Structure 1
């Protein structure tokens, strides 16, 4: 007979699942410092810590909530799809680390012990609990609450709670969720007083009729109870009786109106926070209060760089504030129910939530899905238990609008059981499950990482018939009528993701495409330090864990410490709920909110001339209703002497719960005048003087034609450069790796051969060939230098040679080095942050300044970063000299204190050692970023295919 941690029962001694709530009954928090001991195996762990006597040696202190592997007891382990143990369901290895937890506590005087409940919010992965030596039961389901009847075992005064936690269990087969495996009691533990005649459970039904504009309220509960909502004039409404015709403001994620009330029995008073809304799929669209939704969403794992999944409420709030400030309106709780406080915050601040069950069996893909619990009736009780516990816990949250049956568990009969039970228990919310491509149990057609062109075909309902429904016309007709969601897209791993704007354009064009959820919110890195104290973030394999998923856990829009990445800035711009377009002499302001008008926003404009503000004002935008637009005249603008840019901003007019007045919600920018053409003076003659060639203020190596000095400034270059340190998306997944193609073609080891150096009367012409050893593929390049006054002008002409076929270049430009003291950087172009061809919406044209260090984006995994796009001019310098570079008309700028090779070789930012030079790239173009780390590569228009090309730059040394 299998042990309890290997059997197929959800647990023993468990109370029925119920809603999470607080009340005026007693609650004793048992969080704090516990005693802890780790044993290597379950069988070898002695049961000598249950009684009142002090435990034997071997115990140390451990905070609860926590994960013991983050406190020096073993190591965290990260895998993406592979189980970190043999696929042998439901069995686990003999080496099963087992953590014994012990807490002595005093029961408060007057505590009503009868019917008391011991509640665990989350324990990973299986545990057994004793109170005063009496076994209360066992439980599995790591991200779900477990409650036990504690009254019979409680004593007045001193009590001893003992909990044995196993790292691996049969439940672990359902928790292969692309995350760190982190055992322990990681959510709160509490003892709950249960008064006689108290509230055991309740179900709030707060609906809204968008036709009548009225609300309805029913609260179902097993105990006789009365409901009061003073603001609505409801006093002592009996439970189970419906109140109709309520004059309510509906709850939405944009306007999260909550009404305070309470549920009262003769023994207990429970506070209620009511949001009136009705969810339905109508006409093939997901609607709330009769209005179709467009989900601008993210997938969110729970993660903290120091505490793992033991998150504080302050951290949860910080997540939601960042999301709201970046125009995110939806969260998929990947891949398990979150801490219940997170949903309280979603109700309060406003967020559409897809609440996902604690089920993923992805590791069975490595066994061709043989033995998958999703299709094995023996596993039905465990799977159904998890669905019940999620739905019952979270059913009263207005923010939860969709239930997800789980993630990436293939398909099988048990999902039908989950779907049938959920629809019966809660018919007011639709169901989502993506991996069964028949969608017989889902109310959505849903995919992951679908290319933009395919999403567009889906929007037109012209997608191909999937094999799963090809032989069932009725099932296919149902699938084709479903609303479409991308439950995961735009893999935010490292530098990227690309193509966010392209996806959003399709979502907004086709009503069937109701948005999606970017993967994912946060990098799952753990804070570490080098021997000399420098901080970095560790990932899979950094802890000696094996097997491991390497860097694949570093795939978020925010860094592990919740610093926003450039990808999040891009997402904010793409998701902005207001757009402004310029058409002739009029501005068209469109409201992309689903429910809210624009009266909460203040619109301002600024005019900049060559990056310097010359005029500003306020735009009198009317109260544009949701989904509508208004036109107004362009403000009267003074003439700009140079390049003029009009920027329109939409800012919060007053404080919101998630941001202060003045917070920028949206912006748009328009060119209103072009710079005057720069006159080109007569060229000077190039003269050879021994080993150098002089041209204007420049001195060139007579053998290679490379510029070595410009006036007082010593430099080296520029020379053609096509290599960049591969991004995570360049490296791709599996066969989808452009970086592998680049390395195979030798693009990381191109060699330069000077063909000729020809001084002429009005120019210097240098011919060269750039190629990799062992290949015939090459680039012919001609550098033509001319001089006028203090300026040196370079024209670069590039011709591909050999079988390039469809192989893109990483970048195309030139590279030079400058002295180490050239640290200050100013530029006129796009900024202030980095930008790439398919991730540039967040970069606006302006005048910016920083340092070379400030140009860097410190991705957890070093890679190409820091590129400033469409630069008109840039100045790099120090106390003694500066170099000015001008484009004809634009170039891309990157400057670092390490080489591209250094960057490519580094595993963590602390591996990068500053050299005594500044390495500068001036690019004509870059290959796009795409999302190929777990999705499609760049769109065709963002692939940098070699072709005959010319570009020009102007250099000037400044005092």
Structure 2
């Protein structure tokens, strides 16, 4: 008799890399500490490497002691990713798995990298106790041998794994062999929005563990804000003593003691040096006292509600991927601190432990997130097959939670544990939450992707529109069907764990979100998505660096530049979005009433006073400094404000628009910035911009001469009315109405919601191919009037545009433009203004208006009024995928000059304009896929815009708020042109 139907293959055990179990042979998870008096040996460096196409690897030859076994193999750096070192290629998807979804199975095509390192023990390596081999991170599954003996296997790419190896070590010629599979059962749990990058990408270390040394310890350091005391207890698996000399503490492990302390916060990261001493090891401790609780529906630290001004941070380097060195980690933290960021969500896995060390040291709140995301199952009906709802995976889920919590439990910076990201719902998540709460009840647990929040202590959402966020702040959100669950959710504090998708030009709407956070105490801030563009460095044939994204590495499936959505460019240059965010979240607000002669300073810190800041003022007229001085601001506790008198306006100041700027700067050097670093600023208008002065003397009359019309310094085409030259300078393009911009990533919108993409509407109605028709060229005694119709193809839509040119005796040429829309416009306009083409020599720009960086209607908080100078090339923002960029807001006047000083001055009419200048057309900018695609031409294209459509964050979030929509409506605006002589 057969036990199975005829013809069915017998069942076979799954290979280890397809087993949902977390692995075999590894030691229990434990805390991480960077220093002790125990010996350690880094095994980072150059390893022998060979890539095989299947999970079989290269066979067993690389296990042998024989050096010839891998003599012909390639060499790669460990830590590192083999796909970034010439073996295979990286691939990017945001949601989709790059293998058939049949959990836990994998296809036969499974790139597998065999790694081998031969090492000697240092002289005097201790013979007692145990030695542990530690891997900080291997993507995605590893099988490990030492001196021919298999140690075991493991999954969980961004988590540590250790093996006991003391019995296998020899003084010299140790052969460490590691087989790494790109795909494994663990890959189903690691569908984070990032590059797929296999390899041994974090440190490999040999750690001596002396007899009676701790295997693990847990530092409990709470703070009582009512008494100002801290309570310390260090639990350890072996007996020992804990000393904190500064506090006069000397206590046994497991013993509790209380003493007056200064608490640890992200603003005041006070730590105390201590030491854990056992019979086998001395471990330095850096202890931060703080208490995290949810009380009265609010998340509080040390008794106070805190406000997260956060970012989501992936580990990334443009050359080495997720292998990030310590100095780059430090650079990240310093950049965050210098841009007023106070919190990090470690999306979507625990970072290298050294990064958390830096967060402890410099002061950042941390949501530590488990290495878990199953987003690709969202394509299946009801998330069919989702591992978090499949009990076979529960041991792996709990293992991942354990390895995160045990490793990072002694970090004062970690204030929230996150179960993971975008995993749907399932009992496996509940099992993780239960284990975490049992092990560490001192921190709340957060998970966003189950809207009933059975396992979360925090109500968290992603990309929620402003109006809904406000309803949540008022606790007036739409109720859940289950009254008990609804009551639970309404009792929770609210976090936007992702918002303001920082992809390309943007994000817009940050100021409005921040006002909500600061208005409603339930809204405890959010985390911008995300910190850095994941552009991988590529080079043109002539050596220029640019950055690749999905599709640039011959992937057969990818999600394009959706991986470039950060506040930093790949080389860690701050983007305009980061400069904007710094201003929006500044912890000191400076406002005032110039008419009353007062300025108001409000301290928005959660814990710090203003004693570390020095306040100064400047008084400028037309962007030129007239006077400056110190502003005496009394010490302000958190939440306090002071209204102070401004100094009298300086005597003898020249006429013109006058502005006070008040600065809050660091009074002294800090660990993260030098003295004088600007933390916050505010501007107050002392004297408003004067109204435009009418031209002196009688208006000049235009004169027709054959095919030309002359008016003042301008020469026009008699047929079209286009300005062809100004004061002898030939123009590539005379000023004409321009309504299109190269769509931003946010204009392009969410690719899964095509109807919501404003750029789709622009292209459907052909705004990028608008045609201009001249209906009349009219000469009168005082003006030249050109009547035109600007319209896209195949539509009955149009903008009837009237240009009225005038000139007086002062040498200026003035233009007033009137626009009247026709038809039923189905979408906002991208821009409304004038396009002017100048010769390429006009490459130097000076302007008085907003700056120094770019700004758009809903990204202009950081734009401050002043006088600035740059080249045309410096005005460009090098987004990884080129798009509309570089506009300067509120421009009163702008000058473009040649090297000999000759030039053109453009002065605003009644309203300031948006100024943009570049060496390529909008069409060329729109067509470019990477920065090297933009080749400078022989024209400087200048946009003088009356209005721009907002930016928003619709690449993965809300569109611009309605107030920032550029609706087609009647408009009138004007500018003045004046030639400038050289010298």
Under a length normalisation based on structure 2, what TM-score does the superposition of the two structures give? 0.96
What is residue 884 of structure 1 aligned with on the other side? 905
Is the contact between residue 850 and residue 864 of structure 2 (CA under 8 Å) also seen in structure 1?
yes
Residues in 1 aligned to 2:138 and 2:70: alpha-carbon distance in whole angstroms: 24
Equivalent residue in structure 2 for 1:163, among 165, 178, 181 = 178
After superposing the two structures, state which structure 1 stretch, 135-144 or 705-714, moved more: 705-714
What is residue 270 of structure 1 aligned with on the other side? 283
What is residue 688 of structure 2 aligned with on the other side? 674
After superposing the two structures, state which structure 1 stretch, 714-723 or 342-351, moved more: 714-723
Q: Give, in angstroms, the shift of residue 546 of structure 1.
A: 2.4
Residues in 1 aligned to 2:611 and 2:649: alpha-carbon distance in whole angstroms: 25
Is the contact between residue 84 and residue 546 of structure 1 (CA under 8 Å) also seen in structure 2?
no
Secondary structure of the structure 2 residue equivalent to 1:931: coil
Is the contact between residue 765 and residue 793 of structure 2 (CA under 8 Å) also seen in structure 1?
no
Equivalent residue in structure 2 for 1:785, among 800, 805, 808 = 805
After superposing the two structures, state which structure 1 stretch, 111-120 or 1-10, moved more: 111-120
Residues in 1 aligned to 2:980 and 2:940: alpha-carbon distance in whole angstroms: 17
What is residue 265 of structure 2 aligned with on the other side? 252
CA separation of 1:56/1:231 partners in 2, compared to 1, >3 Å: closer, same or farther?
closer
What is residue 541 of structure 1 aligned with on the other side? 551
What is residue 39 of structure 1 aligned with on the other side? 52
Residues in 2 aligned to 1:762 and 1:63: alpha-carbon distance in whole angstroms: 75
Is the contact between residue 50 and residue 58 of structure 2 (CA under 8 Å) also seen in structure 1?
no
What is residue 711 of structure 1 aligned with on the other side? 727
Equivalent residue in structure 1 for 2:561, among 533, 551, 560 = 551
What is residue 698 of structure 1 aligned with on the other side? 714
Q: Give, in angstroms, the shift of residue 110 of structure 1.
A: 3.0
Question: Does 2:161 match 1:128?
Answer: no
Question: Does 2:955 match 1:945?
Answer: no
Secondary structure of the structure 1 residue equivalent to 2:16: coil
Residues in 2 aligned to 1:759 and 1:611: alpha-carbon distance in whole angstroms: 39
Cα deviation 1:674-702 (Å, max 9, x = unaligned): 24331333311111100011111111000
What is residue 957 of structure 1 aligned with on the other side? 979
Residues in 1 aligned to 2:690 and 2:78: alpha-carbon distance in whole angstroms: 67
What is residue 958 of structure 2 aligned with on the other side? 936
Equivalent residue in structure 2 for 1:192, among 194, 204, 207 = 207
Equivalent residue in structure 1 for 2:704, among 688, 691, 709 = 688
Cα deviation 1:739-769 (Å, max 9, x = unaligned): 0011001111000000000111100000000
Residues in 2 aligned to 1:599 and 1:151: alpha-carbon distance in whole angstroms: 54
What is residue 4 of structure 2 aligned with on the other side? none
Secondary structure of the structure 1 residue equivalent to 2:892: strand
Is the contact between residue 693 and residue 759 of structure 1 (CA under 8 Å) also seen in structure 2?
no
Is the contact between residue 430 and residue 443 of structure 1 (CA under 8 Å) also seen in structure 2?
yes
Equivalent residue in structure 1 for 2:659, among 645, 649, 659 = 645
Cα deviation 1:426-468 (Å, max 9, x = unaligned): 0000011000111010011111000111111110111112xxx
| Counterpart mapping for 1:164-313 below 5 A | 164-235=179-250, 237-244=251-258, 246-313=259-326
Is the contact between residue 598 and residue 646 of structure 2 (CA under 8 Å) also seen in structure 1?
yes
What is residue 875 of structure 1 aligned with on the other side? 895
Residues in 1 aligned to 2:473 and 2:690: alpha-carbon distance in whole angstroms: 45
Cα deviation 1:821-851 (Å, max 9, x = unaligned): 0011000000010000000011100000011
Secondary structure of the structure 2 residue equivalent to 1:49: helix
Q: Give, in angstroms, the shift of residue 45 of structure 1.
A: 2.6
Residues in 2 aligned to 1:746 and 1:464: alpha-carbon distance in whole angstroms: 40
| Counterpart mapping for 1:325-340 below 5 A | 325-340=338-353
Equivalent residue in structure 2 for 1:517, among 516, 523, 527 = 527
Equivalent residue in structure 1 for 2:677, among 663, 679, 688 = 663
What is residue 8 of structure 2 aligned with on the other side? none
Residues in 2 aligned to 1:76 and 1:438: alpha-carbon distance in whole angstroms: 37
Is the contact between residue 712 and residue 957 of structure 1 (CA under 8 Å) also seen in structure 2?
no
Secondary structure of the structure 1 residue equivalent to 2:399: helix
Question: Does 2:355 match 1:355?
Answer: no
Residues in 2 aligned to 1:304 and 1:456: alpha-carbon distance in whole angstroms: 37
What is residue 12 of structure 1 aligned with on the other side? 24
Equivalent residue in structure 2 for 1:67, among 48, 71, 81 = 81
Query: Gaps spanning 5+ residues in structure 2: where?
Result: 1-12
Is the contact between residue 423 and residue 449 of structure 2 (CA under 8 Å) also seen in structure 1?
yes
Secondary structure of the structure 2 residue equivalent to 1:52: coil
Question: Does 2:536 match 1:526?
Answer: yes
Cα deviation 1:908-946 (Å, max 9, x = unaligned): 010011111111110000000000000001000000001
Q: Give, in angstroms, the shift of residue 474 of structure 1.
A: 1.4
Equivalent residue in structure 1 for 2:631, among 619, 631, 634 = 619
Is the contact between residue 48 and residue 70 of structure 2 (CA under 8 Å) also seen in structure 1?
no
Question: Does 2:594 match 1:591?
Answer: no
Cα deviation 1:97-121 (Å, max 9, x = unaligned): 1101101100123323442110000
Secondary structure of the structure 2 residue equivalent to 1:107: coil
Residues in 2 aligned to 1:823 and 1:492: alpha-carbon distance in whole angstroms: 30
What is residue 492 of structure 1 aligned with on the other side? 502
Q: Give, in angstroms, the shift of residue 44 of structure 1.
A: 5.0
Q: Give, in angstroms, the shift of residue 157 of structure 1.
A: 2.4
Secondary structure of the structure 2 residue equivalent to 1:193: strand
Question: Does 2:752 match 1:742?
Answer: no
Question: Does 2:43 match 1:27?
Answer: no
Is the contact between residue 592 and residue 626 of structure 1 (CA under 8 Å) also seen in structure 2?
yes
Residues in 2 aligned to 1:680 and 1:157: alpha-carbon distance in whole angstroms: 90
Is the contact between residue 109 and residue 157 of structure 1 (CA under 8 Å) also seen in structure 2?
no
What is residue 845 of structure 1 aligned with on the other side? 865
Question: Does 2:401 match 1:384?
Answer: no
Residues in 1 aligned to 2:93 and 2:346: alpha-carbon distance in whole angstroms: 19
Secondary structure of the structure 1 residue equivalent to 2:354: helix
Q: Give, in angstroms, the shift of residue 475 of structure 1.
A: 1.4
Residues in 2 aligned to 1:879 and 1:146: alpha-carbon distance in whole angstroms: 62
| Counterpart mapping for 1:383-462 below 5 A | 383-462=397-476
Under a length normalisation based on structure 1, what TM-score does the superposition of the two structures give? 0.99
Secondary structure of the structure 2 residue equivalent to 1:116: strand
Is the contact between residue 57 and residue 113 of structure 2 (CA under 8 Å) also seen in structure 1?
no
Residues in 1 aligned to 2:276 and 2:141: alpha-carbon distance in whole angstroms: 34
What is residue 573 of structure 1 aligned with on the other side? 583
Residues in 1 aligned to 2:263 and 2:899: alpha-carbon distance in whole angstroms: 61
Q: Give, in angstroms, the shift of residue 151 of structure 1.
A: 1.3
Cα deviation 1:203-262 (Å, max 9, x = unaligned): 000010000011100001110010001111012x11011002x11100000000010111
Question: Does 2:149 match 1:139?
Answer: no
Question: Does 2:780 match 1:770?
Answer: no
Is the contact between residue 343 and residue 366 of structure 2 (CA under 8 Å) also seen in structure 1?
yes
After superposing the two structures, state which structure 1 stretch, 581-590 or 208-217, moved more: 581-590
Residues in 2 aligned to 1:494 and 1:463: alpha-carbon distance in whole angstroms: 31
Residues in 2 aligned to 1:74 and 1:10: alpha-carbon distance in whole angstroms: 26
Question: Does 2:741 match 1:724?
Answer: yes
Query: Gaps spanning 5+ residues in structure 1: where?
Result: none
What is residue 826 of structure 1 aligned with on the other side? 846
Is the contact between residue 80 and residue 178 of structure 1 (CA under 8 Å) also seen in structure 2?
yes
Is the contact between residue 37 and residue 58 of structure 1 (CA under 8 Å) also seen in structure 2?
no
Question: Does 2:341 match 1:341?
Answer: no
Q: Give, in angstroms, the shift of residue 638 of structure 1.
A: 1.6
| Backbone CA RMSD of aligned residues | 0.9
Secondary structure of the structure 2 residue equivalent to 1:341: helix
Residues in 2 aligned to 1:679 and 1:901: alpha-carbon distance in whole angstroms: 37
Secondary structure of the structure 1 residue equivalent to 2:209: coil
What is residue 109 of structure 1 aligned with on the other side? 123
Is the contact between residue 558 and residue 565 of structure 1 (CA under 8 Å) also seen in structure 2?
yes
Cα deviation 1:101-151 (Å, max 9, x = unaligned): 101100123323442110000000000100000001101000000001111
Residues in 1 aligned to 2:492 and 2:145: alpha-carbon distance in whole angstroms: 49
